[in-house]
Amino acid sequence: MIAIGGNSLIRAGQKGTIPEQFANARLTTEQIAVLAEEGCRIVITHGNGPQVGSQLLRSEAGSSQTYTLPLDVCVAMTQGEIGYIIQTSLQSIFRERKISIPVTSLITQVLVDKHDPAFQNPTKPIGPFYSKEVAQKKQDELNWNIIEDAARGYRRVVPSPKPLEVIEQDIILDCLERGIIVIASGGGGIPVTFENGTMVGVEAVIDKDRASALLAIELNIERFIISTEVEKVYLNFKKSNQKAIDMISLDEAKRYLDEGHFLEGSMKPKIEAAIEFLESGGEEVIITNPEHLADAIKGKTGTHIIGRIQR
């Protein structure tokens, strides 16, 4: 499994135009194509943070002229948008290299518990920053939960419940067994629950790394690759004594996590997802940036986390 960060498609300093996203997707899919040529069966997941924020902005801006979009629908829309970008980029490379491997994108729902404590304590920031006055108006009119970011303004927060089950996991497995590369569980999946036997979407965002780890576990995947902005994970990141990690054991990863080396909203959820995957029987987690995916899998770079290390 290769989990692509939403920020991998929109790099720092970019506006996030569609041509920019296609160019960035090309960098990642060129690496994925190398793995496909070598016979790897591949599931691709992806984040959607910047893209879902843009969808919410469009919905707000056009609310006087068209219907507004609930968050679960925005997640579904970005699954289609990003899936299309990744899928066509990979198909184009396959065509250039005369590789005959089918690729598909799958709208994916993820079951959550409507009684999850996260619904009582929303913490996941989404959408744009607002002034205090605008934020208060949104809170009063739309019943949003708002938090203050002292440096940048006010922002809406939503629940981030624990993913329990990927609804389409059997379909994804069937595709893998047929040799199809699947793009699934975009943005952590569309959060759904059951009400009186009916499946309904909920206003929440599932952490994409946790959802990816869950899907990898459900599919009995051996290797979980997390593509992010840095080539390797660091201890004491951005401090004078920062140190790149080449290979660590599961126990070491847990110890470094407890010691506070990994920041919330940055590397911490990735390490937590890696730990969950390995504790459930996965063999290896690799964390690196898009440009080094193929080399990282060959052991030339990246951070490798495994259950046990033979010293």
Average pLDDT over residues 208-233: 95
In this prediction, residue 205 carries a pLDDT of: 94
Mind telling me the catalytic residues? 6-7, 124, 208, 270
Q: Is the pLDDT of residue 201 over 80?
A: yes
* CATH code reported for the domain at 2-111+168-306: 3.40.1160.10
pLDDT digits (tens, 9 = 90+) for 284-306: 999 999 889 999 999 999 999 99
Prediction pTM value = 0.91
Task: Parse the chain into domains and list their residue ranges.
Answer: 2-111+168-306
In this prediction, residue 240 carries a pLDDT of: 87
The whole-angstrom separation of Cα 44 and Cα 211 is 12
- For 132, half-sphere exposure in the C-beta direction (CA atoms, 13 angstrom radius) is 3
pLDDT digits (tens, 9 = 90+) for 116-150: 999 999 988 887 788 899 989 888 887 889 998 76
Average pLDDT over residues 234-259: 93
pLDDT digits (tens, 9 = 90+) for 30-43: 999 999 999 999 99
Torsion angle of alpha carbons 131, 134, 140, 146, nearest 10°? -30
